[in-house]
Structure formats: C-alpha cells, structure tokens
Chains A and B, each alone.
Chain A
Amino acid sequence: MSAIVSPVRKPLITGNKTYHQITEDLISPTEKTPNALWVITFLMSISLLGFGLFCIAWTIWNGIGTWNLNRTIGWGWDITNFVWWIGIGHAGTLISAILLLFRQKWRTGVNRAAEAMTIFAVICAALFPGIHVGRAWVVFYFFPYPNTRGPLWVNFNSPLLWDLFAISTYFTVSLLFWYLGLVPDFATVRDRATGFRKSIYSFLAFGWTGKAKHWQRWESLSLVLAGLATPLVLSVHTIVSFDFATSVIPGWHTTIFPPYFVAGAIFSGFAMVLTLMIITRKVLSLEDYITIEHVESMNKVILVTGTMVGVAYLTELFIAWYSGYIYEQFAFFNRALGSYWWSYFGMMFCNVLSPQFFWSRKIRRSITWTFFLSIVVNIGMWFERFVIIATTLARDYLPSSWSYYTPTWVEIGIYLGTIGLFFTLYLGFTRVAPVVAVAEIKSILKTGGDQYVGENAKHHHHVKHDVNEHAAGTSIDIDENPDTKIK
C-alpha cells in the first residue's frame, strides 16, 4: 500500500491533489447553481425531448402509417436508432466492467459518466421497440406472463424475444452496478450538505458509513458484477445481431454479425463517451481528472475497434464474392453501388478511414481532433445500421417489390427526441451526482496522482513516519513540498 513513486508512469490525476481537494473538485458541481451554458443546453435538450414526445404521441394517435415504412422496408429509422443507441450504451459497461477486470486505473476518471451514459442510452433504445410495434398499449404482450389466452406463451425461440430479455437484463444490471458505485459518493455529498439537501442525500446514500467490512463487500461485489457484466455486454449486442443474422435475408444471414456488432458497439460507445467527456471536463473544470492520458487511451480503443469494424466490412465483401451465391453477391453490390450508395460510402469513410487518423499520437492527444472525430464516428455508426437495415430490405428477392424509403418528419422527430431525452437525463445527472467516482479516484491517488508518478513526482521525499517504531510502511508527506510545479 505504500506509495510507488515512478517517473515513468503517466499521472492520471494532475494538479497535486489532496483527498480533500478531490472531494471539493468533484462534489462542488452538484452544490452550485448551474451556469448559463448548462441552462441553455438543458433548455435545448428538453425542447427536443418535447418535440420527440409530440411525435411519439402523433404516431400512437394516427398509427404507424405516419412513418414511411412500406411492405418491403418494414424496418427503417426506428430499428436503426434502436441498434445505434444500444451500441452507444456498450462503452459504459466496457469501461466499468472489462477495464475493472483488466485493472486499468484510468477507468476511474470516466467510469461514472460512461455508466450513466449506458443507462440513458438503453432507455432511448428501449423506446423504439415499444413504439414501432404500432399498438404501444399492448406492448406488455412481449412479456411471458400468465394470461387468459391459454395461457399462450411468447415464442422463446425468437431472437426478438431474446432481445427483450437481453436488454431488460442489461438495463437492470447496469443500473445496479452504477448505483452501487454511487452509494459511497452520495454519502460524501450527504456529509457536506445541510437541511433539506442533507435529507435527500441521506436517503440516496442508503446509510453508508464507510465501515471496513462494508468496503470489503463493496469491492468484492463490484468485482463479481464486473465479471457478470462482461459476458453480458458481449451477449447483448450478439443477440441484437441475431435479430438480423437468424433471418434468411442475404446480407443479414451471416455468422460474422455477433463479433462485428460488438466491435461496432464499443467503437460507437467510446466515441460517444469522448463527445460527452470532452464537453463535461470543460464545463465542470475536470481537466485534472479526465486528462489527455484518458482521452488518448480511449482514442486507442477507438482505433482498435474501428479497425476491427473495417476488417469486418471487408470480410463481408470478400465472403459475399467467395460464396458464389448470387443473392449474397447482389446484396453487397447493391449496398455499395445501389440506390443507397451514399450511406455505404458515408459509413466506410466515417468508420474505416476516420479512426485511422488516431495512428498519429498528436491527433490522439488533440482535444479538437478527438471531439471532431468522435462525432464523425457516431454519424458513421448510425450509417452502418441504416445500411444494414434499409439497403438490404430495399432490394429483396422479388424485383417487383423493390422499393425506396425516406423518413417522414415524424420519424426524424422521434430520433431527435431521443437525443433530447439522452442529453436531458445526462445534464440532470451532472447536477445531482458527482460525474467522476470520488471514492475510486481517491483510491488511485497514490498510484496515479502527479505528485507520485510522472515527471513532476517527488523522488526524495520518502518520509518515515516514526510515530511508532513498529511502523512498516513508508509514506509521503504531501505537504513537504508545497511548491511542486504543476504542469
């Protein structure tokens, strides 16, 4: 437990922080009145959400005919958006679970916000299957509940039902995991608060006191939940891909879909985390906790997953040609050069070419470039789902039913509404909870703080605390050298 001083390792917390300073920096955004920028963004988000709700009401009132779907193209923007949002959610679980298993300490700077993003993205995603069925008021038929029609059960062999189970489980587990991490931090907020605010946070903190035994169980539970969430997150997008892969439509019926969807999901999720974190760190002044090192690490993940997605696209093309099966060959020829060629090239450019910029260390460490490319990737991944869904359906086996599809204002409105919902929830979250996990940041201070690691680390200040002669560990007095230079 004694501090490891290393000039080689890059610091993850800059600014020569003390434990108390960490609390101040991370909790104070929830205690202050929001600034004008926050209020403006919130009003914009809530307006978009309002318009989205209107469009949903319009759809339910007038029927699904208000969308431009037709007998050939039965899935349009609805399922495209559904898959897009679910994919975005995956980065949160990857950061909170997989990086915990891999003991990647940089996760502590971004895991809280990324997990919040997961939960909000899943809420946005879950909206679409609920309304695209048309009769939203009987949507509870999805669930296998004892009923008076037999009981007639749902079809447990259907990938669409697997999807229901996967997404409900994913949402529940993510929420439990996220809240488990929030409990100690809510206790910190509680112990700084007074009056009504204190009673609210007392409720939210569940009576947390920081007992040694509770921390031990908390860590053990976090680890096991991470172990469960890791295969879960892989299963969720695998099952989403089964919605397509188990059909007999050329272009969908491929075994590459599960890994390809999972890589794509992580790819788009990290892009969204970066978009959000770059704004958040600026607006809440968290540059000391979400450093360029964090941005660079995430950009490396984007580069890897983006390249995996690129390889998957090319594999698909190769296999289509190599299969010698004309329907499969036509499906891919049509994707690239058919009536939706623009979306295919948009996808190729945004997902395959744009992440390759991250081979350059300079671009990986540039906030402007990262922000720009993260948005490009998000657009690209939306195109990918659109390409898979709409272009494939537009040209099916029977040329007589070939068709074209453009969305109506209602469909666009619902999509914008989910973006509004997502940002409304996220902005609300930044007001009520610390966006960086306070307790977890403190636990990595001595191995990640810039007074301990990196070039500004103090090398010669091993102060033996001879408070008693049996003391075994050494420790560093951080007040020893108050004028350490801060980069």
Chain B
Amino acid sequence: MKKGHTEVLYGLYNDEEILLDAVRQAKKEHLDIMDVFTPFPIHGLDPILGLAESRLHQAGFVYGATGTCTAFLFMTWVFTRDWPIIFGGKPYWSVPAFIPITFELTVLFAAIGMVVSFYIICGLGPGVTNEVLDDRITDDKFCLAFQTNGYSEDQIDKLKSFLTSTGVEEIGAKVI
C-alpha cells in the first residue's frame, strides 16, 4: 500500500498487559491486525502476533565470514604474492600475526553489515519520515492498529466495539 493511502483504525492502551490481552483476543477472533506499535519492546508479543524470529544474526554470520576471508586472504596475498618482505626473520606467511586483524575485520564486517541490513529491511534511515498514528506511542501508549481500506461502516463499528471491549483508552482513525 502506498504512503498516504492506508486507512487505519487504531486503539491506544495504557498498559502493555492490557494490550497483550487485546492482541490475544483479536487473534482469537481472527481479526486482521495491521500492526502493533509500542514505546518499548514487549516480551511475549511476537509469538501472539505470529512474528517469525529475526534472521539478522544469520546474515551477521555471513557478513562476519566475509570479513574473516577478506582480511586473511588479503594479508596472505600481500605477503606471499604481491610484495613478500621478511619481518624479524619470520616466514612470509606468518599466520599467528594475521589473527588480530582477521578478528577485528570479522567483527567490523559483521557489525556494519547487520546494522545496515537492519535499517534497510525496516525501511529506516537518515531522511526517512514515517507517519505516526499518535505522538504518545513513543511515550506511554500502546497501539493496536487495523487496516480498514474497503471496510463497510458495519465492519468498522464491529472493530470499534472490539477495541472498547478490550479496555482501550482511546480509539482513533487516520490515513497514513
């Protein structure tokens, strides 16, 4: 859905426990939850929402391995092929001396790779602005949002009464 074309009906809750119950109930009633927005990470929310575990750490392993190979193979190439120099009577290919830099580049590649991937897959970054449903979601409100494009008055009323029945504090609608 393009920006500015998503109709959203959302409820704001005062406490994460009430929100968790509401989300559980919504899942039970097979309501189509668009998203949940919270001021801090809520443990126990992911399984209820059915979010799969993040695979960032797997990507991190690949980035790290790239760093390991880059560092080790580069130093090997420099000291055995490109410009072999004897330092302190040690062999050209002195593996133990390559370990510190290999380790540092492993960490560097993994960290940069994962952080950049995180921002890209989340669609976040310098200059990105996303419409927020309510300014208090980053403060003390816990938000459960439904997408209502093409919903009839009747369906929207049903969602509203669902939100009310789960102890919602405020109900709002917004096009984002």
Q: Would you give the shortest CB distance from A212 to chain B, in whole angstroms? A: 4
Tell me if A157 and B21 are in contact (CB < 8 A): no
A20 contacts which chain B residues (CB < 8 A)? 139-140
Q: Would you give the shortest CB distance from A466 to chain B, in whole angstroms? A: 9
A150 contacts which chain B residues (CB < 8 A)? 83
A151, A173, A187, A203: which contacts B138 (Cβ < 8 A)? Answer: A187
Tell me if A202 and B115 are in contact (CB < 8 A): no
Tell me if A192 and B135 are in contact (CB < 8 A): yes
When A213-B51, A467-B21 are in contact, do A207 and B139 touch as well, CB less than 8 Å? no
When A150-B83, A468-B166 are in contact, do A232 and B107 touch as well, CB less than 8 Å? yes
A34 close to B (CB within 8 Å): no
> Which B residues, 6 to 46, have Cβ-Cβ distances below 8 Å to chain A?
15-18, 20-22, 24-25, 28, 35-46
B36 closest partner in A (C-beta): A212
Tell me if A211 and B140 are in contact (CB < 8 A): no
A184 close to B (CB within 8 Å): yes
Determine the distance from Cα of A207 to Cα of B129 in the docked complex, in whole angstroms. Answer: 4
B111 close to A (CB within 8 Å): yes
Tell me if B101 and A2 are in contact (CB < 8 A): no
B17 closest partner in A (C-beta): A475
Could you tell me how many residues of chain B have their Cβ less than 8 Å away from some Cβ of chain A? 78
When A183-B124, A220-B56 are in contact, do A188 and B39 touch as well, CB less than 8 Å? yes
Tell me if A472 and B21 are in contact (CB < 8 A): yes
Interface hit among A340-348, A350-358, A437-445: A437-445
Tell me if B127 and A209 are in contact (CB < 8 A): no
Tell me if A212 and B38 are in contact (CB < 8 A): yes
**How many pairs of residues, A versus B, come closer than 8 Å at their CB atoms?**
218
A3 contacts which chain B residues (CB < 8 A)? 17
A31 close to B (CB within 8 Å): no
A88 close to B (CB within 8 Å): no
Tell me if A188 and B126 are in contact (CB < 8 A): no
Tell me if A184 and B138 are in contact (CB < 8 A): yes
A152 contacts which chain B residues (CB < 8 A)? 83
B43 closest partner in A (C-beta): A1
A204 closest partner in B (C-beta): B126
A325 close to B (CB within 8 Å): no
A409 close to B (CB within 8 Å): no
Determine the distance from Cα of A203 to Cα of B143 in the docked complex, in whole angstroms. Answer: 23
Tell me if A442 and B39 are in contact (CB < 8 A): yes
Tell me if B21 and A217 are in contact (CB < 8 A): no
Determine the distance from Cα of A176 to Cα of B119 in the docked complex, in whole angstroms. Answer: 11
Tell me if B140 and A215 are in contact (CB < 8 A): no
Q: Would you give the shortest CB distance from B83 to chain A, in whole angstroms? A: 6
A180 close to B (CB within 8 Å): yes
A165 contacts which chain B residues (CB < 8 A)? 100-101, 104-105
Tell me if B87 and A221 are in contact (CB < 8 A): no
User: Would you give the 0/1 interface string for A200-233, flagging 1 where the beta carbon is closer than 8 Å to chain B?
Assistant: 0011001111111111111111001100110110
User: Would you give the 0/1 interface string for B82-113, flagging 1 where the beta carbon is closer than 8 Å to chain A?
Assistant: 11010110100010011011011101101110
Tell me if B115 and A472 are in contact (CB < 8 A): no
Q: Would you give the shortest CB distance from B91 to chain A, in whole angstroms? A: 10
Determine the distance from Cα of A23 to Cα of B138 in the docked complex, in whole angstroms. Answer: 9
A145 close to B (CB within 8 Å): no
When A166-B104, A209-B130, A216-B41 are in contact, do A23 and B139 touch as well, CB less than 8 Å? yes
B137 contacts which chain A residues (CB < 8 A)? 191, 209-210
A40 close to B (CB within 8 Å): no
Tell me if B79 and A471 are in contact (CB < 8 A): no
In the A-B complex, the 7 residue pairs with the closest CB atoms: A207-B128, A467-B167, A19-B140, A475-B17, A215-B41, A191-B135, A162-B100
Q: Would you give 23 A-B contacts (Cβ < 8 Å), ordered by A? A: A1-B44, A144-B78, A157-B88, A157-B97, A172-B111, A176-B111, A184-B39, A184-B40, A191-B132, A191-B138, A206-B119, A206-B128, A209-B130, A209-B137, A212-B45, A217-B54, A217-B118, A231-B103, A231-B107, A235-B107, A440-B40, A471-B21, A475-B15
